[in-house]
Amino acid sequence: MDPKILYAIIFKRKSIRNYDPEPLDETTLAEITRHISELIALYPEIKTEIQVVSPECVRGFIRVNAPHYLVAFSEVRDGYRENIGFLLQQMDLFFSASGIGSCWQAWLKPTRDFRKNKDLEFVIVMAFGRPKETLHRGSLVEFKRKKPDRITSNPELHALLEPARLAPCGGSEPWYFTGDTSLIHAYCIRPVFLTGKHVERMNHINMGIALCHLWIAALSSGKKVERTDNPAARENPPDRYYYSTSLAFQQIPAA
């Protein structure tokens, strides 16, 4: 899908929690499966698997009831949760642009029978289907997010980071950014003593979601984006944060 279409969706998408229980038609599901196969990874070297499943394939006490779910699995390597966040957020925006609702499901898991033959680790679930509520936000004021000066100390980055600021995160907003308009360094909040493993797990995924928004914003403006590791940024994190990764931006010359 055109990055400009996905970029526009960033500013009005919302998590949908009420769905029509009727399953999507086979043509639509086939298009979703095709789109999954074309997703771009943050870490292409990490093996992943994303499947469309029915409600009986997932379990959990806290759940959104939807006719379909995406279940994501991954090889366990550095950055694998960020990578899944990056991949599934592309689906979240694709759904929203296609008239389909979706919602990250942090507490759902695939059933034991479904995952017993998997050689990859389960990461997270996303619900999706036809919405029974308004699909998009009416205005930016409906986003409840940190102010720009709380996610970077560089005012020149405010406009560039706006898509990341609006990323879905379950209220955690773990990100902080440094650098300039050609090279952004991303950092994640350090877990405190009382932080549970669930919160730490979701923070990694949320970082991938925010990086996906930055990547799409850059593509939509005609830039090439490259993920890179920056030793200097890694060794000099802001207080209370640790280094995640960096994104380098380069303007593609007009033909």
Tens-place pLDDT, residues 197-245: 888 899 999 999 999 999 999 999 999 999 999 999 999 999 999 999 9
Q: Please give the Cα distance from 206 to 164 (Å, whole number).
A: 10
pLDDT band (50, 70, 90) for residue 255: low
pLDDT band (50, 70, 90) for residue 196: confident
The domain ranges of the chain are 3-129, 144-251
Question: Average pLDDT of the chain?
Answer: 94
Can you give the pLDDT at residue 253? 72
The helix-helix angle for 197-220 and 158-165 (nearest 10°) equals 130
Asked if residues 95 and 176 have their Cβ atoms less than 8 Å apart, the reply is no
Q: What is the CATH number of domain 144-251?
A: 3.40.109.30
User: Is 3-129's fold the same as 144-251's?
Assistant: yes
Write the CB contacts of 129 (distance below 8 Å, at least 6 apart in sequence).
Answer: 19, 20, 21, 23, 24, 66, 67, 68, 100, 101
Q: What are phi and psi of 48, to 5 degrees?
A: -135, 165
Can you give the pLDDT at residue 124? 97
Can you give the pLDDT at residue 213? 98
Mean pLDDT of 157-186: 94
* 249: nearest Cα among 180, 183, 178, 185: 183
Structural class in CATH, domain 3-129: alpha beta
Q: Please give the Cα distance from 151 to 137 (Å, whole number).
A: 23
Structure tokens at 246: 């960096």
pLDDT in tens, 2-22: 999 999 999 999 999 999 999
